[in-house]
Structure 1
Amino acid sequence: MSRSASEIKECTLLGNTGVKYPVEYDPSLLEAFVNKHPDNEYVVTFNCPEFTSLCPKTGQPDFATIVISYIPRERMVESKSLKLYLFSFRNHGDFHEDCVNIIMKDLIRLMDPRYIEVTGIFTPRGGIAIYPFANYGDDEHQELAAMRRREAFASAVGRGQR
């Protein structure tokens, strides 16, 4: 059940060796393809351990692992476009919480997933580690979204008590 060329024609970055790395935040880099299994509910997870952005006040670099998990509907994000999109944050000045929410909202606009969550595991700076978590669930996944927020909160509280 291979994909035909017409099914992946929107994926212009995949296999393109002449791609230029962005120097500014650019959500237009994100590309999607059709989910061949929209009748199945399944989870897709991306682990992006080399995320970098800049502090909006000091310009100092911030480093993080970004974890994105979603339940697709009709469209799915193409991984090379996601890589380039995340790279576009390299010179983007924003707080950790903003980056995580921007990533989530851009992916919602691209895919209209059933459910999505984005976690930032930022390297400590000044003795403080920040782990923002943002999620969204459609009408059928509101309970899941609420449960995952509770779990994220409980996990954060647990980390603080060690």
Structure 2
Amino acid sequence: MDGRDEKELEGVTLLGDQGVKYNYDYDPEVLECFMNKHSENDYFVKFNCPEFTSLCPKTGQPDFATIYISYVPDETLVESKSLKLYLLSFRNHGDFHEDCINIIMKDLIKLMNPKYIEVWGKFTPRGGISIDPYCNYGKEGTKWEKTAEKRLMWHDMYPETIDNR
């Protein structure tokens, strides 16, 4: 099967739209998905988002991070332009780093119901300390449920060397 037909692209409205309005207030409704033509395969999709920003809920100061999203899709995949717009919608959102990462994961689970997903935020230091929250999820009753548990337990056993973000 070559390419995608119109039925497979139902619900994808933002891709190719030059008139998209940018929303800087948290908006999970902007997320869109499309059919996974290879749902019988287990494979990872990874997004690296180096320009994520949100606001500290206490001071209103901006927080900057690289967000890593890796998932094993089931029946649908997230459309990347909608994901970019969604992540941009955190620009004026005031929440702690840990909250942002968990919200992103839960919104993507709600959208796609993936077999497995993990979200890792590597925030730049403020006040001399960086915070790097990580969360994951594996679909209940599948091998991915055990994978999530194992990856969480072993997630940071070999921490990276951080020179200067």
TM norm structure 1? 0.94
Instruction: Give distance in 1, aligned partners of 2:16 and 2:39.
Output: 25
The answer to whether 1:149 aligns with 2:152 is yes
Q: Give the deviation of 1:150 after TM superposition.
A: 2.0
Instruction: Give distance in 1, aligned partners of 2:85 and 2:111.
Output: 15
Moved over 6 A (4+): none
Instruction: Give distance in 2, aligned partners of 1:111 and 1:14.
Output: 18
Q: Give the deviation of 1:7 after TM superposition.
A: 1.3
Q: In structure 1, what is the equivalent of residue 12 of structure 2?
A: 11
**What is the one-letter code of the residue matched to 1:147?**
K
Instruction: Give distance in 1, aligned partners of 2:134 and 2:120.
Output: 4
Q: In structure 1, what is the equivalent of residue 138 of structure 2?
A: 137
Deviations 1:7-34 (A, max 9, x none): 1121100000000000210000000000
**Structure 1: gaps of 5 or more residues:** none
Instruction: Give distance in 1, aligned partners of 2:147 and 2:10.
Output: 33
What CA RMSD, in Å, does the superposition of the two structures yield over aligned residues?
Answer: 1.3
Matches within 5 A, 1:3-152: 3-138=4-139, 139-140=141-142, 141-152=144-155
**Structure 2: gaps of 5 or more residues:** none
TM norm structure 2? 0.93
**What is the one-letter code of the residue matched to 1:155?**
Y
